[in-house]
């Protein structure tokens, strides 16, 4: 499985750092939705789903967390602990987020608005979906 991470450039100076991300520029898709997770627990996992069409970049803009990616054949885990690094999660990838630091803020840039229709929330259905694809 190909793991796609992207380092977004930062404007850094003695005044601090600024990272800008433009849809259809730094990332390929137009950004139609932004959401973020915070107030998370180290012991609880989130996600447990795949998308049929949605593309996303996950950026841990504060603290750290890990992301499990599963394409139905292989699994890989990626630790996110830098505010200027994005992890691409495309369609047909089962993902789980875990080991959140207490202060973690996970920002997600998504290619479309929220649609429950686009979710596969059952792991067996996910395997059927990717194996039939």
* Catalytically active residues, by annotation: 49
Q: Write out the two tokens for 121.
A: 């929330």
Phi then psi for residue 112, to 5 deg, are -155, 170
How many binding residues for ligand TYD (CB under 6 A)? 6
What torsion do the CA atoms of 67, 113, 119, 48 make, to the nearest 10 degrees? 20
Nearer to ligand TYD, 26 or 118 (CB): 118
99 binds ligand TYD (CB under 6 A): no
Return the residues of window 38-67 that contact ligand TYD according to CB under 6 A: 46-47, 49
Nearest approach, Cβ of residue 83 and ligand TYD (Å): 20
Q: Are 71 and 1 in contact (CB under 8 A)?
A: yes
Among 12, 17, 114, 128, binds ligand TYD (CB under 6 A): 114
Q: Are 89 and 56 in contact (CB under 8 A)?
A: yes
Residue of 130, 133, 109, 132 whose CA lies nearest to 49: 130
Among 22, 35, 36, 125, binds ligand TYD (CB under 6 A): 35
Nearest approach, Cβ of residue 85 and ligand TYD (Å): 19
Residues in the site for ligand TYD, rule: CB under 6 A?
33, 35, 46-47, 49, 114
């Amino acid at each position: 499985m190909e793991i796609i991470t992207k380092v977004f450039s930062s404007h850094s100076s003695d005044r601090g750092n600024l990272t800008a991300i433009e849809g259809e520029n730094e990332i390929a898709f137009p950004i139609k939705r932004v959401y973020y997770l915070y107030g998370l627990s180290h012991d609880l996992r989130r996600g447990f789903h795949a998308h049929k069409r949605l593309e996303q970049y996950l950026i841990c803009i504060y603290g750290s967390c890990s992301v499990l990616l599963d394409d139905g054949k292989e699994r890989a885990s990626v630790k996110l602990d830098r505010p200027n690094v994005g992890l691409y999660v495309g369609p047909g990838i089962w993902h789980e987020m875990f080991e959140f630091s207490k202060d973690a803020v996970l920002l997600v840039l998504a290619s479309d608005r929220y649609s429950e229709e686009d979710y596969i929330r059952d792991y067996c259905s996910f395997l059927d979906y990717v194996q039939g694809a």
